[in-house]
């Protein structure tokens, strides 16, 4: 990674690990340590927000440049030329997380019991930025986490189905972002690098039913762009047959502020209404909601919302 790019990312709060990975504390880590307010993933699935490492093995590599993405953009690429070993990335990510948490120790608002627990992460969100499936040793990374009894949430944009097909060790929970109901809106909003990105996404959706892990479709919804179109989303979701569907409203933060406006943020009531209409086709159960995150969960079987961590 060139020094200019590294400095830009560090200024934005990233801690660089090796040559192409990074860790960054999320908003909910702070909220959990200071105010005992967990993220929606803890509410829905039972992970502990204060013991979660938010990381990526592809900080400056992505196959899309989404209009709604709050993260750093400005680079394109689908092949990491020199890859770090998975064990080094995992160890480096945990050390980076501990370094980022150091300043909380002296803050009177910090729950010190939680801070001590946070030194030993029990969950890893492989999602922070970039497209993690571009890291060819992803199977090793998930395997290394599993050896340490660390659960994993892998979030992909679905444009690299070959990487998912090659996984021998599956993440605890696999997310696929479906942020467009059709090819036209997909190309306009997600600005994919691959010319056949829409077809690649659909191959991923068709692959999902064969993968023996918990599967989530995430609809990131932007008002006046991709909000609505419930029947078209249903056709895509039906292919994937996911365990869960997360309908989440766009938030006007970060780099997206240069591309969208505050008016593109749906209200929570609009997310609820979308979820109600979509579920008229899906016939799932209401799995939960978090108004502060503008998200509604639909569950195929609500009894299976919480993860059985004893099996990890």
Residue 173 has what pLDDT?
Answer: 98
Residue 311 has what pLDDT?
Answer: 86
Q: Could you tell me if residue 207 is inside a domain?
A: yes
Q: Could you tell me if residue 308 is inside a domain?
A: no
pTM metric for this prediction: 0.96
Q: Could you tell me if residue 267 is inside a domain?
A: yes
Domain of residue 270, residue span: 3-300
Q: Could you tell me if residue 310 is inside a domain?
A: no
CATH of the domain at 186: 3.20.20.70
Q: Could you tell me if residue 231 is inside a domain?
A: yes
Q: Could you tell me if residue 87 is inside a domain?
A: yes
Q: How far apart are alpha carbons 106 and 109 in whole angstroms?
A: 9
Q: Could you tell me if residue 307 is inside a domain?
A: no
Q: How far apart are alpha carbons 20 and 1 in whole angstroms?
A: 7
Q: In what order do the strands lie in the sheet with 244-249?
A: 15-17, 21-23, 52-56, 123-126, 151-156, 173-177, 214-221, 244-249, 295-299, 285-290
Angle, to 10 degrees, between the axis of helix 183-190 and the axis of helix 197-207?
Answer: 110
Residue 1 has what pLDDT?
Answer: 79
Residue 75 has what pLDDT?
Answer: 64
**Mean pLDDT, 10 residues at a time, the chain of 312 residues:** 87 94 96 97 97 96 92 75 96 98 95 98 95 97 98 98 98 98 98 96 98 98 98 98 98 90 97 98 98 97 96 87
Q: Could you read off the pLDDT of 71-120 as tens digits, one per residue?
A: 777 666 788 989 999 999 999 999 999 999 999 999 999 999 999 999 99
% of the chain with per-residue pLDDT over 70: 99
The number of distinct structural domains making up the chain is 1
Q: Could you tell me if residue 176 is inside a domain?
A: yes
CA dihedral for 52, 47, 114, 142, sign (positive or negative): negative
Q: Which residues of 146-160 are buried (b: 16+ CB within 10 A; e: fewer)?
A: beeebbbbbbbbbbb
């Amino acid at each position: 990674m060139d020094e200019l790019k590294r400095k830009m990312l560090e200024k934005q709060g990233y801690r660089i690990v090796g040559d192409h990975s990074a860790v960054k504390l999320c908003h909910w880590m702070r909220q959990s340590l200071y105010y005992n307010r967990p993220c929606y993933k803890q509410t829905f699935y039972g992970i502990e927000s204060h013991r979660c490492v938010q990381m990526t093995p592809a900080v400056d590599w992505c196959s899309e440049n989404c209009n709604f993405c709050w993260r750093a953009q400005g680079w394109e690429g689908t092949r990491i030329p020199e890859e770090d070993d998975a064990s080094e990335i995992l160890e480096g990510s945990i050390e980076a997380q501990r370094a980022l948490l150091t300043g909380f120790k002296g803050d009177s608002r910090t729950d010190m019991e939680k801070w001590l627990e946070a030194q030993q992460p029990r969950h890893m969100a492989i999602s922070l930025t970039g497209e993690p499936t571009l890291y060819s040793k992803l199977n090793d990374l998930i395997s290394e986490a599993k050896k340490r009894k660390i659960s994993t949430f892998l979030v992909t944009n679905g444009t690299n189905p070959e990487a998912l097909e090659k996984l021998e060790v599956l993440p605890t929970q696999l997310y696929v972002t479906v942020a467009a109901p059709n090819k036209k809106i997909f190309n306009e909003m997600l600005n994919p690098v691959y010319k056949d990105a829409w077809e690649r996404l659909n191959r991923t959706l068709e692959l999902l039913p064969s993968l023996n892990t918990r599967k989530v479709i995430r609809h990131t919804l932007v008002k006046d762009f991709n909000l609505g179109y419930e029947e078209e989303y249903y056709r895509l979701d039906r292919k994937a047959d996911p365990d869960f569907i997360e309908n989440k409203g766009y938030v006007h933060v970060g780099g997206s502020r240069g591309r969208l406006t505050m008016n593109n943020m749906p209200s929570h009531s609009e997310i609820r209404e979308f979820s109600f209409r979509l579920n008229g086709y899906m016939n799932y159960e209401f799995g939960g909601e978090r108004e502060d995150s503008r998200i509604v969960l639909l569950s195929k079987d609500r009894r299976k919302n919480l993860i059985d961590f004893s099996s990890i």
